[in-house]
Amino acid sequence: MRLKALVLQNFRGYRGEVRIPVHPDLTAFIGRNDVGKSTILDALGIFFDSPLVKFDPSDLCVYAEAKEVRIGCVFDELPDSLTLDNTSKTNLREEYLLNEDGDLEIHKVFDCSSKSPKARIVARALHPTADGYADLLQLKNSDLKERLKEKAIDTEGVDQRSNSSIRKALWRSCDDLKLSPIEIDLNKEDAKKIWDQIQKYLPIFALFRADRPSTDEDSEVQDPMKLAVRQAVSELENELQAIQDRIRDAALDVARRTLEKLKDLDPNLAKELSPTFRSDPKWESLFKLALTTDDQIPVNKRGSGVRRLILLGFFRAEAERRRTQENRSHIIYAIEEPETSQHPSNQRAVIEALKDLASTDGCQVLITTHVPGLAEMIPTDALRYVRFVEDDIRVVEEGSEDVFERIADELGVIPDNRVRVFVCVEGPNDVAFLKNMARILMSDGDEAGFDPDNTPEIVFLPLGGSTLRDWVNSHYLKSFRRPEIHIYDRDADSPPKYQTQANKVNQRNDGSRAFLTKKREAENYLHPDAIRKVLGVEVEVTDENDVPEAVARAIHEREEGAVPWEQLSEEKRKKKVGCAKRQLNNKVAAEMTVKWLEERGALDEIREWFITIKQFIKSG
């Protein structure tokens, strides 16, 4: 199950009902301090029963007119079936538990008129409301059988041991179920059984908060590996208990035999003594695990930024362990202000790592930030802008020119007026590929090479899907009519898909120029030895084959117990291919060499692109 949206009503600063769309991969919540970004992550923590955050009556919005708080989640990628008992197998659609969009929408409702409110679980669904057909999920087997008699329904072919079978027969018998969006209580009878089954499919939710302790006095941060020891001890609890029992029994036996011998010397003293254990052993204190550098410098002597990175690494490892152990297909990483205590270069590395993580199958990443350097690296379709529209009203906005402009203005992401040329490509992966090629040529001393991170005169602009920085440059600088170099994939089409666009660019009178790659796409310029070195898979690389799919298939098939590639859904294959493209253009391309480019017959073509690009810097 994948998170599609969050619904808040009267929770802290969110008055009324607010629906917050969540990106399938990476979602970044941007906004000023105290505007409600962390509240979103805390709400998810409450919904998924995170140990780091609990619901409290004080979470009721102070402006709320009612005493009821709602935290809801909308999911897609739902399980095909649910098993209620030995006789009942059903699915959410047949039970009319999906909303108007065909998604599962579950709300946890808290009545804050109570001192200790407990969550009431409801599903918002397009459900039957016709008389005698609206309450079937709340009925016991005997009541459902009675309803069959009341409606005079032929029971042939109906398994009356199965509640779901009876419900289906009842609903099928009705000419007009009067389907309407209502709330279904999931706290009793089969409705509760369904909720119990749904919980087995919910994503693992892992919350990493910005205010997680990071002082030297905090034991967890003094040595994050204490968490590893604690986890290992908990996993071996049964084995350690067995050892403890054996030691206790052996020691008591020695004590009893000692007292028997003492009776021969002093019977009265022997009567006064009895063997007892004062306390159980504290296993965690017996094991000392530490991470040290090659110079034997312990972690607790490193800076707070390093300690936080290690904690973040442990956080991810623990979340993955839970995902595997509980056999969940999806996981949500919610990370508040990942830039905390990090140098700008590390901030960029963290964001790139999180983007990589979000692109993997079954992973979603949610972050909050108000640092321009991070926000500008995030794809625009992942941005969510949290702001006040009135003193007591907050909204979460996405996906419009006005929203991007507000974010850019608020964070101070401004265009660089030193730009002399735009390099226009299809998407972010092409940008990564070209930047890596520029670095490779520069490191070889080639005049065509340059450092893309320190050449402000050149802006790489993906035309299909861009970051906030790309949007700002395009939005503000395009009006200055800077010349453009377009580099498009030739792909497998004949004639090439972008031939018409390339012709139009080449017919301009402003010096702009368009290239179509001589090979199919960027990944076909990579060497199979580089792919093997970085990704550990053997694939054929020609000028024409689909390299990302070949790599995605190879990585998938080496997984233990992997189903055949052809049996994966189209969406899953597409996501795995997308992840492979990102790894190829970011990691593999970075390991390419001039020699490998020559062997692929790619060096002269790439040099021509960059020489043309650099001419605009010289002429400017």
- Could you write out the DSSP letters of every residue in 420-444? -EEEEESSHHHHHHHHHHHHHHHHT
SS3 label, residue 609: helix
Q: Residue ranges of the chain with pLDDT lower than 70? A: 86-87, 210-231, 235, 270, 272-279, 284, 287-312, 314-316, 318-326, 340-346, 373, 391, 412-416, 464-466, 473-480, 619-620
- Report yes or no: 573 and 593 within 8 Å, Cβ to Cβ: no
Tell me what pLDDT residue 415 has.
Answer: 65
CA 588 to chain centre: 23
- Which pairing describes strands 421-425 and 484-488: parallel, antiparallel, or unpaired? parallel
Q: Side chain identity at 447, as an amino acid letter?
A: E
**What is the sign of the dihedral through the CA atoms of 586, 588, 591 and 592?**
negative
- Report yes or no: 106 and 73 within 8 Å, Cβ to Cβ: yes
Tell me what pLDDT residue 6 has.
Answer: 97
Task: State the DSSP H helix or E strand holding residue 352, giving kind and residue range, or none if neither.
Answer: helix 344-358
Tell me what pLDDT residue 530 has.
Answer: 97
SS3 label, residue 461: strand
Q: In DSSP terms, which residues pair with 484 in a beta bridge?
A: 422
Which distant-in-sequence residues (6+ apart) come within 8 Å of 313 by Cβ? none
Tell me what pLDDT residue 214 has.
Answer: 43
* Closest to 27 measured CA to CA, from 339, 349, 379: 379
- Report yes or no: 492 and 520 within 8 Å, Cβ to Cβ: yes
Q: How far apart are CA 620 and CA 615, in angstroms?
A: 8
| CA angle, residues 492, 494, 497, in degrees to nearest 5 | 75
- Report yes or no: 122 and 185 within 8 Å, Cβ to Cβ: yes
- Report yes or no: 396 and 407 within 8 Å, Cβ to Cβ: no
The two three-digit tokens of residue 472, written as one number:
């700002």
Which distant-in-sequence residues (6+ apart) come within 8 Å of 481 by Cβ? 510
The two three-digit tokens of residue 128, written as one number:
């039957």
Q: How far apart are CA 525 and CA 583, in angstroms?
A: 14
The two three-digit tokens of residue 180, written as one number:
């309407």
Tell me what pLDDT residue 505 has.
Answer: 87
Which distant-in-sequence residues (6+ apart) come within 8 Å of 113 by Cβ? 67
CA 516 to chain centre: 35
Task: Give the position of tokens 């991070």.
Answer: 374
- Report yes or no: 212 and 311 within 8 Å, Cβ to Cβ: yes
Q: How far apart are CA 373 and CA 306, in angstroms?
A: 20
Tell me what pLDDT residue 218 has.
Answer: 44
Q: Where are the beta strands (DSSP E) in 22-67?
A: 26-30
DSSP assignment of 119-177, as one string? Answer: PEEEEEEEE--STTTSSGGG--HHHHHHHHHHTT---TT--TT-HHHHHHHHHHH-S--
- Report yes or no: 75 and 1 within 8 Å, Cβ to Cβ: yes
Tell me what pLDDT residue 220 has.
Answer: 44
Q: In DSSP terms, which residues pair with 335 in a beta bridge?
A: 208, 367
Contacts by 32-38 with C-beta closer than 8 Å and gap 24+? Answer: 32/370, 32/387, 32/410, 33/370, 35/386, 35/387, 35/388, 35/394, 36/12, 36/386, 36/394, 37/336, 37/368, 37/370, 37/386, 38/209, 38/210, 38/336, 38/368
Q: How far apart are CA 537 and CA 550, in angstroms?
A: 10
* Closest to 11 measured CA to CA, from 67, 63, 61: 61
Q: How far apart are CA 517 and CA 504, in angstroms?
A: 17
CA 38 to chain centre: 16
